[in-house]
Structures are given as structure tokens and as C-alpha cells.
């Protein structure tokens, strides 16, 4: 079985590492595949993929798309050829990902926040008409044991419309946090990963714990909570 970390960020959005550092961290962690999923941009995707090819690392080009206000729920698209427009309805975002042959994945669901994270009622309404291809059952975002239990129950009751079980770090810090949550799959290529997701033959698992220096973490919070929203408002993503 191979190991993937299919939710990573770079300095193209609110990550703290460039493409070279991200690929180097993946090689250091002995990962087979990563997916670059910057917020509302694919500006780094091609470079990460090219550097990954040089390093023998499979790279999926993706994006973490912000849906419309006020919830601004996030949806991850994998295997994208071009960026997906942000600010659309949740349903329209999933459709836009599928329209270009991509896979739609729900990241960090059921977090104790209204912003960014798909909540149970919202997700139930979505999958009634718009099934997704996967959902992060294990992730690194803040949650609670009760919410994790509810998520597991929701997934067991709706497997057919929620797709593959995914584990991902939502890495923003390269070597400091990459690989803390992983997805096992059979094969070594991006197409092998795609087939495993579509065939629901993936297994989320815990990896190494993150160890992010406090100063780096604080700078990332500034990028994520201040710099990125300003860039989005000014149309610079």
C-alpha cells in the first residue's frame, strides 16, 4: 500500500512553503502522492506537479474552493485542469468540479465552526441530489470526540453518496505538518489514486504528529485570516 497526503497548501494561498519545499517535505516523509489544493487558486499546481515528477512523486492538481457567503463552506476538487470559480453555491461548486472531470471531496466536515466546514444538515441536503467522491473522515482541523463519532455515523449511513473515506493533513507548513494524516491506497500513480478513490478502496490513517514552531504558526494565522481574505476581496487570487 502507498501513502498519500491529498490536501496540501503552498504560498499561492495561505501555506508557508513554496512548491520546492512541499515536494522536498513529501520526499522526506516517503510519501507516494500529494495533492496541492490551495484556496481559490491553482497558481502553484503546475510547478508542484513538475517538481514532483522530477522527484518521483505523484502530484494531483487541485483546489480548495470557497463557496458563497455567509457559510463559505470549502470543497476540495482533485484532478482539475483549470480553477473553479469561488463564491458559488455549494451544489454548483460540486457540479463545476465534476463538469471538468474532477473529483469533489468534502474537507474537514462537522467542525465546531459555521465558517468553512460542511455541517450535517448542509451535507445531507447536498448529497440528496449531488453525491460527492470522497470525504475527509480523518483530518487535522479542530474537532471533538463527539463530532468525530457523529461523522462516523453519518458516513456509515450515507456511504453510497459520500464516496471514499479520506485522510489528509491539510498541510500548510511542509515538513512541520505534512503526513500527520494520510490516505492508504494501492498503486503508485495519480491514476492509481483516482481509481482507488472511485472504487472506494482507500483507508484513512494517522501519521506522524505535527510539530510547528510557534512563530511560524502565528505567521500562518496572519496569512490565513488577514492576507488571504484581503487578496480574495481585491480579486488577486
Confidence bin at 193 (pLDDT 50/70/90): very high
> Cα(89)–Cα(69) distance, rounded to whole angstroms?
9
Q: Is the pLDDT of residue 46 over 90?
A: yes
Q: Is the pLDDT of residue 177 over 90?
A: yes
> Cα(46)–Cα(156) distance, rounded to whole angstroms?
36
Q: Note whether 107 and 64 are within 8 A (CB).
A: yes
Which pLDDT does position 70 carry in this prediction?
A: 87
Work out the mean pLDDT of the chain and round it to a whole number: 95
Which pLDDT does position 113 carry in this prediction?
A: 85
The pTM of this model reads: 0.93
Q: Is the pLDDT of residue 236 over 80?
A: no
**Domain range annotation of the chain:** 2-233
Which pLDDT does position 100 carry in this prediction?
A: 97
Which CATH code of 3.20.20.140, 2.60.40.1120, 1.10.645.10, 3.40.50.620 fits the domain covering 2-233?
3.20.20.140
> Cα(211)–Cα(69) distance, rounded to whole angstroms?
33
Report which secondary-structure segment, H or E, holds 16. none
Which pLDDT does position 114 carry in this prediction?
A: 78
Amino acid at each position: 500500500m502507498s501513502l498519500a497526503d491529498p490536501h496540501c497548501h503552498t504560498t499561492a494561498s495561505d501555506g508557508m512553503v513554496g512548491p520546492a519545499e512541499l515536494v522536498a517535505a513529501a520526499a522526506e516523509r516517503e510519501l507516494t502522492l500529494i495533492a496541492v489544493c490551495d484556496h481559490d487558486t491553482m497558481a502553484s499546481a503546475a510547478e508542484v506537479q513538475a517538481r514532483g515528477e522530477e522527484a518521483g512523486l505523484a502530484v494531483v492538481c487541485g483546489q480548495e474552493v470557497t463557496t458563497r457567503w455567509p457559510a463559505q463552506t470549502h470543497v476540495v476538487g482533485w484532478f482539475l485542469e483549470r480553477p473553479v470559480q469561488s463564491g458559488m453555491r455549494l451544489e454548483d461548486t460540486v457540479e463545476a468540479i465534476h463538469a471538468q472531470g474532477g473529483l469533489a471531496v468534502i474537507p474537514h466536515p462537522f467542525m465546531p465552526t459555521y465558517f468553512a466546514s460542511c455541517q450535517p444538515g448542509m451535507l445531507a441536503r447536498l448529497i440528496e441530489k449531488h453525491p460527492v467522491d470522497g470525504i475527509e473522515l480523518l483530518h487535522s482541523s479542530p474537532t471533538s470526540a463527539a463530532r468525530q463519532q457523529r461523522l462516523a455515523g453519518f458516513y456509515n449511513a450515507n456511504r453510497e453518496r459520500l464516496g471514499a473515506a479520506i485522510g489528509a493533513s491539510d498541510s500548510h507548513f511542509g515538513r512541520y505538518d505534512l503526513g500527520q494524516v494520510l490516505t492508504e491506497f494501492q498503486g503508485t500513480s495519480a491514476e492509481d489514486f483516482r481509481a482507488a478513490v472511485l472504487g472506494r478502496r482507500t483507508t484513512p490513517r494517522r501519521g506522524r504528529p505535527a510539530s510547528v514552531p510557534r512563530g511560524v504558526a502565528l505567521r500562518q494565522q496572519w496569512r490565513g485570516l488577514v492576507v488571504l481574505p484581503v487578496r480574495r476581496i481585491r480579486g488577486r487570487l
